[in-house]
Amino acid sequence: MTPAIAVASAHSNIALIKYWGKSDSARNLPAVPSLSLTLDGMTTTTRVEFDAELAADHVELDGAVTAGREQARVVALLDRVRAIRAFDSRARVTSQNDFPTAAGLASSASGFAALALAAASAAGLSLSLEAVSGLARQSSASAARSLFGGFASLPADSECAHQVAPEGHWDLRLLVAVTEEGRKPLGSTEAMEVTKQSSPYYAAWVTHAPLLFQEAERAVRERQFDTLGASMEQSTLMMHASMWATRPAILFLTEGTLAVMHRVRTLRSQGLPCYFTIDAGPHVKVLAEAKHAEAIQRELALMSQVKRVIPCAPGPGARLLSNTLLTGKALPC
């Protein structure tokens, strides 16, 4: 096989309704449905080159050669592509984030979405976006949603995500209030497993999460901001409550996180509609309608606990920056 190269970019997505826990760890299938907003900022750009002359895969992330688990997760995705395509060439992978990696800012979502698209394309596979989403999902379930622009859902036990509404559907903003710099102490895969194994609240979470998903999906379709915000806050609080009840407890929320959560509630009571959500990290993502976003951003930026605010609008799905376009549907999804 002659060297085959593709470059793809993907944006982070933030779950408005959270995925937390796997129904099948080996296949990486989510136990609960999730609903996300793909952002216009926070981009990963990934180049994949398959080269029959290479002895081993070579992976660079933000200019540093990867090793250990980070490297193994990338190689596992490349192996799946090689198995579908039935060839054995190793790859050179370079990936660049324009935001901090593994800091609770959904870098695995944009990272594996861009990697799946670039790797499939460089291998000459003709896959639908859903099938590429399925490829990304096996590495990181949240990544399955970043293939799609705007609002996307990943149903429980599902192989791949689907678009709920495109980015132009609703002029919302997600204000990312960064409360700490640096890498998070615990990865989400491990934290989910501990929650499933030892939290007495995990079963309640799995039972209740689909109800919130249904409510939020309808709220997105009908553009009901307060309903979406209320289900979004309950989803993140239920997810974190299930983690607080593990042994040992998993606490991603810091003093800074709590301060921003309270500030959001105060702003709301003062007539500025906004709602929070928090992932597996200390940062707070604040949902607002575009017309109120600047005022809310100003208030958040005034807080001593907030290092900076990254304003994001609904963004597009993953796309190829070079190589062939995806047309066919070679994998079932």
* Contact residues: ligand PMV, CB under 6 A: 15, 18-20, 34, 108, 140-142, 188-189, 279-280
Identity of the residue, 43 or 142, whose beta carbon is nearer to ligand PMV in the bound complex: 142
The smaller minimum CB distance to ligand PMV, of residues 31 and 91, is found at 31
- CA–CA separation, 151 and 180 (whole Å): 27
The minimum distance between CB 19 and ligand PMV, in angstroms, equals: 3
Give the bridge partners for 221, in sequence order: none
What minimum distance in Å lies between the beta carbon of 165 and ligand PMV?
Answer: 18
Sequential DSSP letters for 191-204? HHHHHHHH-TTHHH
Instruction: Give the nearest distance from C-beta 275 to ligand PMV in angstroms.
Output: 16
CB of 281 to ligand PMV, least distance (A): 8
> Do 48 and 325 meet the contact criterion of CB atoms below 8 Å apart?
no
Least distance CB 156 / ligand PMV (angstroms): 12
Taking CB positions, which residue lies at the least distance from ligand PMV? 15
Burial of 78 (0-12, 13-18, 19+ CB in 10 A): buried
Compare residues 89 and 242 and give the one whose CB is closer to ligand PMV.
Answer: 242
Burial of 321 (0-12, 13-18, 19+ CB in 10 A): middle
Q: What share of the chain is helix, strand, coil (3-state, %, to 5)?
A: 40, 25, 35
Q: Which is nearer to ligand PMV, 89 or 188 (CB)?
A: 188
Contacts of residue 240, defined as CB under 8 A and 6 or more positions apart, other chains included, come to: 252, 253, 278
* Cβ at position 183, least distance to ligand PMV in Å: 14
Residues shown for the chain: 333
Q: How far is the CB of 154 from ligand PMV (least distance, A)?
A: 8
Paired residues of 262 in beta bridges: none
Closer CB to ligand PMV, residue 57 or residue 279?
Answer: 279
Q: Is the dihedral of CA 288, 289, 295, 297 positive or negative?
A: positive
CB of 206 vs ligand PMV, minimal distance in Å:
14
Nearer to ligand PMV, 4 or 232 (CB): 232
Of residues 122 and 250, the one with the C-beta less far from ligand PMV = 250
Residue 310: Cβ-neighbour burial (10 angstroms; 0-12, 13-18, 19+) = middle
In degrees and rounded to multiples of 5, residue 50 shows phi and psi of -85, 135
179, 281 Cβ separation under 8 angstroms = no
- Of 7 and 15, the one with the shorter C-beta distance to ligand PMV is 15
Give, as one character, the DSSP assignment of residue 154: E
127 CB-near residues (< 8 Å, 6+ apart): 120, 135, 326, 328, 329, 330, 331
CB of 246 to ligand PMV, least distance (A): 15
Q: Which is nearer to ligand PMV, 245 or 272 (CB)?
A: 245
Q: Helices 107-122 and 68-85 sit at what angle, rounded to 10 degrees?
A: 30
